Amino acid sequence: MDDRGHLRSPMSAARGRSALTLWLAVVLALAAEAEAPAGFSCRPGSRPVVFNFGDSNSDTGGMAAAMGWHIRPPEGRAFFHHPTGRFCDGRLAVDFLCESLNISYLSPYLKALGSNYSNGANFAISGSTTLPRDVPFALHIQVQQFFYFRDRSLELISQGLPGPIDAEGFRNALYMIDIGQNDVNALLSYLPYDQVVAKFPPILAEIQDAIQTLYGNGSRNFWVHGTGALGCLPQKLSIPRRNDSDLDPNGCLRTYNRAAVAFNAALGSLCDQLSSQMKDATVVYTDLFPIKYGLVANHTKYGFDRPLMTCCGYGGPPYNYNISISCQSKAAIVCDDGSKYVSWDGVHLTEAANAIVAAGILSSEYSTPKIKLDQFCKV
């Protein structure tokens, strides 16, 4: 019925409902856009500053410095031409991300000599987990190390001495978190899938606490990475099994990968929740599973000949991995061309694979919201 009491035809009523639906959709979209952060809170043209927290996937030499390890070649051979403390033949994904921002590679917080902290610092340490939270070098400890670094830097500046980063630099910095893989792997080593997933909440609570603690101290830009395709790691594939029933068509372990996907889904939901709570912050979540699984599933596309075989390891085909003979062992067998391999040492990726992972991250295709990392401090 219209305004004058006249009945409207069903088609007219339908058109009215469609118009109303469209109008409501536009209003809701505008409201969502108004509530969403405009992007990174870094003034265009400012010097990008990055602080990274994580494990060996982004450790640029922290564990080597902490433990006094003398990492030997062939580590670093593809790019640096000498070992740097990275568990890789060259650059990590975080190194390529720094290149995209036109800043120097992140120096490990614990590296006393030759470090440059003008563009940030790397607190990632190989083997790190979220739990237990008070042991070196858990995520909580890394965050505490950051506060020590921040307070000391600001103290130096207050005394009229040169400090690497000022208050504005800390406030506008990008805080990256890439951790959880070791937690999930540890659980999978002794628990069935359902019990593994049931233990995710405490792990996620530690990541949440880290982000909220940093936020409470002025941080506003966060970039969080999910875990990768754990079931495609030669380390896991080399574990003796009764049969191949758990292998998928690409030769990866389904159970490990199911756990990785479930963890990432929960982590993505956590980041959505934090975004809704911290209205003036930007929290970007990037799902690394499809990127890293794609290295195996689409290996011919990327030029990889041996997607499931370790470049630097021991034992020969199919995985060239032996838990007792690492890449650092004199008995290790090293491939001639790491660019043909996905896995460097059975756990960590080659530089060639890391470059593809970084490109996936930079594409924003796997990120929520779809913000371009390489535009940090540019727009």
Provide the annotated active-site residues: 56, 345, 348
b (16+ CB within 10 A) / e for 9-35: eeeeeeeeeeeeeeeeeeeeeeeeeee
> Using CB atoms within 10 A of its CB, is residue 69 exposed (0-12), middle (13-18) or buried (19+)?
middle
Sign of torsion, CA 140 144 150 154? positive
Alpha-carbon distance of 366 to 240, in angstroms, equals: 34
Helices assigned H by DSSP within the chain? 10-35, 62-67, 93-100, 139-158, 167-172, 181-188, 193-198, 200-216, 234-237, 254-277, 289-297, 299-302, 351-363
CA dist 283 and 301 (Å) reads: 32
The β-bridge partners of 98 are none
Q: Classify 179 as helix, strand or coil.
A: coil
* Cα–Cα distance, 260 to 227 (Å, whole number): 6
Residue type, 247: L
CB 354 within 8 A of CB 96: yes
DSSP bridge partners of 58:
none
